Amino acid sequence: MLIDLTLDIEKGANRFSTLDNPITLRQQDAEAYVFNVNLRQGGAVLDLTGMTVRFYALRPDGGKVIDGENVAVLSAPDGIVQYTVPAKLTQAAGDIPTSYIRISSGDWSASTGNIAIRVVPSVAIEATGGDYIPEIDHLINALEAQRVTYGNAEDMRASEWQAIMDEVINARGRADAAADRCVAALASLKVGYDDLTDDAKEKIAAMASAGVVFATHAEIDEAYESIIAPAIGTDTVLDGLTQEDYDYAFGKVFGQ
């Protein structure tokens, strides 16, 4: 049902309005009634271009209606809007003496005179109270959806992080095992000074007196071939150990 109204934002003698009697609705009447409103300012058409229009009401049960969702601007230059009555407006029976349309743009804001509405009782209605502000309800729902999405993402990140930590722990375990094998291998190859031949002892003493320092791998290899290998009597190969194993083990043994 279409209800034509002309409402003026002027509150004095210059106002122009066609609303003389209360509009009667019944509890839970919803979307069947549409207010077709012509907005005026001192009787002249109010141009709504760039403005925001909302419907405000104080229900008989004390609940507030602040509704921009059900307002449609049909013609901004002509100041024509439509308001479709939602169920929340007719939730409680009784008179609604305070209901109006507010128009705003930036810091500028104005409201129409009151639209008198009477809500007559319906049969077997169990209405619940509370304010009706659909724009805020949508915002709350959107925030809740974001919270759920964020929570799911956090769970996924926690799972991925745990998987990474498990890989690190496993890698560390493999490295420790390699180091232990290397230490054991080095211990098995350890040659005591007394086990060296007289020739090897003489070479060591000569190099020490000459201040020889094994600073490079080449020098170490040369010393090994000339002194240690003859003392051991055979070439020894450490099966299963890589260069990375050696580096890790040497660092652990010598504190590097």
Look at residues 101, 127, 153 and tell me which one is the last residue of a structural domain: 127
Confidence bin at 229 (pLDDT 50/70/90)? low
Are residue 87 and residue 123 in the same domain, yes or no?
yes
As a whole number of angstroms, the longest Cα–Cα distance in the chain is 128
Query: Same domain, yes or no, for 161 and 122?
Result: no
pLDDT tens, position by position, 99-136: 999 999 999 999 998 888 999 998 754 545 566 667 66
Whether residue 255 has pLDDT greater than 60 = no
Kindly state whether residue 98 falls inside one of the protein's structural domains: yes
Note the helical H segments in the chain. Answer: 134-189, 198-209, 217-223, 229-232, 243-254
* Cα distance between residue 174 and residue 221, in whole Å: 28
Residue 40 covered by a domain: yes
Residues 246 and 161 in one domain: yes
* Sign of the C-alpha dihedral computed for residues 249, 253, 255 and 256 taken in this order: negative
Q: Residue 226 pLDDT more than 60?
A: yes
Same domain flag for 185 and 83: no
* More confident of the two residues 94 and 168: 94
User: pLDDT at residue 33 above 80?
Assistant: yes
Mean pLDDT over each residue of the chain, to the nearest integer: 77
Whether 147 and 225 share a structural domain: yes
pLDDT class of 145 with cuts at 50, 70, 90: confident
* Structural domain ending residue among the three candidates 127, 159, 189: 127
- How many Å apart are CA 175 and CA 187, to the nearest integer? 18
* pTM (predicted TM-score): 0.51
| pLDDT, average across residues 196-219 | 63
Q: Is the pLDDT of residue 204 over 80?
A: no
Q: pLDDT-derived band of residue 75, with 50, 70 and 90 as boundaries? A: very high
Whether residue 161 sits in one domain with residue 47: no
Asked, for residue 134, whether it belongs to a domain, the answer is: no
- Does residue 163 share a domain with residue 109? no
Are 190 and 248 part of one and the same domain?
Answer: yes
What is the mean predicted confidence (pLDDT) over 55-77? 93
Task: State the DSSP string of 49-93.
Answer: TT-EEEEEEE-TTS-EEEESTTEEEEETTTTEEEEEPPTTTTSS-
Residue 192: phi, psi to the nearest 5? -75, 155
Q: Which residues are CB-neighbours of 186 under 8 A, at least 6 positions away?
A: 249, 253
* Rounded CA Rg of the chain: 45
Residue 114 shares a structural domain with residue 176: no
- Identify whether 135 is part of a domain: no
For 196, list phi and psi in degrees, rounded to 5: -75, 155
Same domain membership, residue 153 and residue 98? no
pLDDT of residue 152: 73
CATH number at residue 79: 2.60.40.3350
Question: According to the model, what pLDDT value does residue 237 have?
Answer: 46
Question: What's the angle, vertex CA 242, arms to CA 240 and CA 247, rounded to 5?
Answer: 130
* Domain presence at residue 132: no
Which residue segment(s) compose the domain that 225 sits in?
A: 143-254
**Could you give the number of structural domains in the chain?**
2
Answer whether residue 137 is part of any domain.
Answer: no
Domain boundary pick from 127, 161, 189: 127
Q: Specify whether the backbone of 173 is left (phi greater than 0), alpha (psi in -120 to 50) or beta.
A: alpha
Residues 149 and 117 reside in one and the same domain? no
pLDDT at 8: 92
Look at residue 201 and tell me if it is in a domain: yes
Query: Around Cβ 230, how many Cβ atoms within 10 Å?
Result: 14
Task: Report strand pairing: 71-75 vs 64-67.
Answer: unpaired
| pLDDT of 143 | 76
Question: Does the residue 136 lie in any domain?
Answer: no
Same domain, 201 and 84: no
Quick one: pLDDT at residue 49? 96
